[in-house]
Amino acid sequence: MKIFKYLVLIALIFTSCKTKKYVIDTNAVAKDMSAKRVVKKHVNVDFDKETVDAKLAASFNDGKTKQSLTVYLRITKDKEIWLKGSKFITVFKAKITPNSVEYYSPYAKNYFKGDFKMLEKILGTSLNYSQLENLFLGQAILDLKENKQEVAIIDNTYVLNPQSTNGVLNMFFGINPGHFKLDFQKVINSFKNQALEVEYPSYRVVDNEIFPQKINIKAKQGKKLTNINFTVKSVEFNTPLNTSFSIPEGYKRINL
């Protein structure tokens, strides 16, 4: 009988670990906490699914072009980001992997093949694949565990400031006390007069994941300011994804 009780106890402990529920406490108040503990709580709510299949309402404005689109976002974790923008017709498709960035537009009849320098021109800072993926998932683009942090509570947000960056970049990460995902992240390069600010005004819980409901991106390069805003209309995780991508014949290659 004792053996049976122990087995039941072990099963309960194991089950509780596997079914941990994440919630959003909208009334949470940021209390004094070490930077190390804030980082640990942020890492603990890291995205834990294999795929993302989302439909987004998107707007883009760089001072010259202003456009609203429906964007389909599909992510295979650590492998691929696939995007399709539509407005009555397909405006663009893009495929991003850890080693390449590809894009084509049936509307403009052009395409791009290259590396992440294309994204730097759009976002105002250099990002690699995992950093871009984290941007969409509400996670810090910097590995916060690898850097000593200073922490301050500002407007009920834990604001982390890494102390061991390369001296050129200033980075700030705002962690929400109600769910420990990001309220914002900022990367400032004063030397190049570049800045990237990503805000996460709201989140929702889907399939036991805290996922951004809205993402607002502001990218500055000199006097140029680009705003890209996303609102999630629907999202599913761990579903089969169609990420077919083939640049049609006859399109003009563009160099950025």
pLDDT in tens, the chain (256 residues): 445 444 444 444 444 444 456 778 989 999 999 999 999 999 999 999 999 999 999 999 998 889 999 999 999 999 999 999 999 899 999 999 999 999 999 989 999 998 887 777 777 777 899 999 999 999 999 889 888 889 999 999 999 998 765 666 789 999 999 999 999 999 998 888 889 999 999 999 999 999 999 999 999 988 889 999 999 999 999 999 999 999 999 999 988 6
Domains of the chain with bracketed CATH: 28-233 (2.50.20.10)
Distance CA 26, CA 92 (A): 37
Residues 6+ apart with CB under 8 A from 154: 174
Distance CA 148, CA 161 (A): 8
Q: What is the pLDDT of residue 176?
A: 97
Alpha carbon distances (Å) from 14 to 6, 10, 18, 68, 209: 12, 6, 6, 47, 19
Q: What is the pLDDT of residue 166?
A: 60
Q: N- to C-terminal Cα distance for the chain?
A: 72
